[in-house]
A = this chain, B = another copy of it.
């Protein structure tokens, strides 16, 4: 018996691409045909038929019988929200019309137990489902949402129960491995690591990619150090780390703030980032952009698209995915890894 891969179901993206129109136009053709010109409407509906695209159960249910909205929490508790929070909300907001829904943010100043805001949104019938962010071990939200029968999908793994697969996340170790590969290509031969203190699932994953990359590319393993997500502490840790490195070496970092710490510590000892020391960050944040640091950019558009699809499938009663989805980050090169031809090749 052949174990053929199940043919992928056509998505709204496939239809939009084949018809040469935007996702919004596909959605309009299905939900508000009066808003689409007759020519376009006929072309889109033909592609819908050819690809056997079936949006009705999920999208129409969401649009016509429910709130038609997906809630997402904005962190109003800590003073320093994730640097990815706004770009991710923007990606969700851009993706939502293609899923015949809109996003409704909510926020609370209460730190714990965090569930009241979710309960309130459901009671007010403002949303049908949630996209979670900032998942963490002992997160009470997945349990509560499942018990309440409320669909959700999360940006970030669900740590306590591997049978829960309604998530998408960034492949951190693949990312730091790619950073090492880039440093090897650029001519750096010894690569150290600045991470977060051990025990952070995300940080530990990013550390593994550094080790694997150094091994794979036959580079020398540099020293490692750790600091929390604070610039002053990152600078202190980087100073110690740089004491064990030399001009021409490089440091892979678990975040852009840590990479900024290495950049500042290097500048303080007169090492020019990119020439005297290679530095890579992680997250593609505004901080990396501002300081011209090479960084691993999270594919937020793809992740948002995946999560809204997962939410729709749940609302439509479609079968659960068999596993969470890992997405590869892509390296954006800044001045922190741009070397001149001064380096010899080995």
Contact = CB atoms under 8 A, between A and B. Distances in A.
Interface string A222-253: 00000000011000000000000000000000
Interface of A: 24, 35, 69, 74-76, 79-81, 83, 85-87, 89-90, 93-94, 97, 102-109, 120, 123-124, 126, 231-232, 257, 260, 267-268, 286-287, 289-292
Report the copy number of this chain in the oligomer. Answer: 2
A287 B287 contact: yes
Given A83-B286, A290-B231, A291-B231, A76 B105 contact: no
A106 B75 CA distance: 19
A124 B86 CA distance: 24
Nearest to A82: B86
6 contacts: A81-B286, A93-B105, A102-B104, A104-B104, A105-B105, A231-B290
A289 B80 CA distance: 8
Given A86-B85, A89-B74, A35 B287 contact: no
Given A93-B105, A257-B290, A123 B35 contact: yes
B286 A80 contact: yes
Contact of A289 (B79, B124, B290): B79
Contacts of A120: 24, 97
Contact of A103 (B80, B97, B104, B268): B104
A74 B102 contact: no
Which 4 pairs of residues, A with B, have the shortest CB-CB distance?
A86-B86, A93-B107, A74-B90, A93-B105
A268 B289 CA distance: 20
Contacts of A109: 94
Contact of A105 (B81, B103, B107): B103
A287 B289 contact: no
Nearest to A230: B290
Given A287-B290, A289-B79, A90 B103 contact: no
A257 to B, nearest CB: 7
Contacts of A24: 120
Contacts of A123: 35
A76 to B, nearest CB: 5
A92 to B, nearest CB: 9
A292 B94 contact: no
A260 to B, nearest CB: 8
Contacts of A90: 74-76, 81, 105, 107
Given A79-B289, A105-B105, 6 more contacts: A75-B90, A76-B94, A81-B286, A93-B106, A102-B124, A103-B104
Contacts of A260: 290
Contacts of A76: 90, 93-94
Contacts of A290: 80, 231, 257, 260, 287
Contacts of A106: 93, 102
Contacts of A80: 286, 289-290
Nearest to A74: B90
